[in-house]
Amino acid sequence: MSMPTDQFRVDGRAAIVTAASRGIGAECAATLAAAGADVLIAARDEDALASVAERVQEHGRRAVTVSGDLTDLDHLVSLVDRAVSAFGRLDVVVNNLGGALPRPFLDTKARHLESAFHMNVSTAFELTRAATPHLLESGHGSVVNITSAMGRLRDRGYSVYATVKGALAHLTRQLAADLAPRVRVNAVAPGSVETEALGSVLNDEMRATMISMTPMRRLGRPEDIALAVLYLASDASSYMTGKVLEVDGGIEAPNLPLGLPDL
């Protein structure tokens, strides 16, 4: 008997997850595999990718690892051929590559903005464009972009990061219009997620401040984001496109102000 929860399954489908060697990307790959998908995982760190591939395979699914520079657009689009060659299809693309360091405005150059735009927006655009012919054939085509709560919030020091994440959120809406109704395009906007990368820059006082300023009184976990990605990748969200799902603990302002002074 079919159950409503079956709609969260992605059995027999194939996915690409970028920046998947650790943190949110790794958890997305493992969660999609647990729900039935084969996964191509891509990042720079070949050893870390091998560890994530083992997690995928523990769920009885196939994993393909591709190491390399994902900001190289030629390398990036080659992931599509690799996935289709290995799995015979492509149904899901998770654009997880991104990031940018905060800086005081007068220390921020145009090159910082342009580099971050390329990493966060151009890569998502180009991988989606390359994948679209296969997603159209899928019958279940879904693109999930990982943006950020900072794409709708503001604070000093985030002129680059917040701008490019806001651009990725609006690219999500635009691509949803272009690809409807056969391919859905949505995004997840995480708040502060306790990954290795965040943990490496937090001390106990900073962590306590972030928790106290988050309505849910904890930091996010990679699985919080991965479950949202699974929802958007699966038929459970079949009536959603062009939406940004905010998974941020309820914040309406940054939960770690940089404290930059007035100019």
> Where does 118-180 have alpha helices with state H?
123-138, 161-179
Strand pairing partners for 261?
A: none
- Of the candidates 41, 115, 119, 14, which has an alpha carbon nearest to the alpha carbon of residue 73? 119
Pairs from 47-53 (Cβ < 8 Å, separation ≥ 24) = 48/21, 48/22, 49/20, 49/21, 52/20, 52/21, 52/22, 52/26
Contact at 8 Å (CB) between 29 and 56?
A: yes
Active site residues per annotation: 161
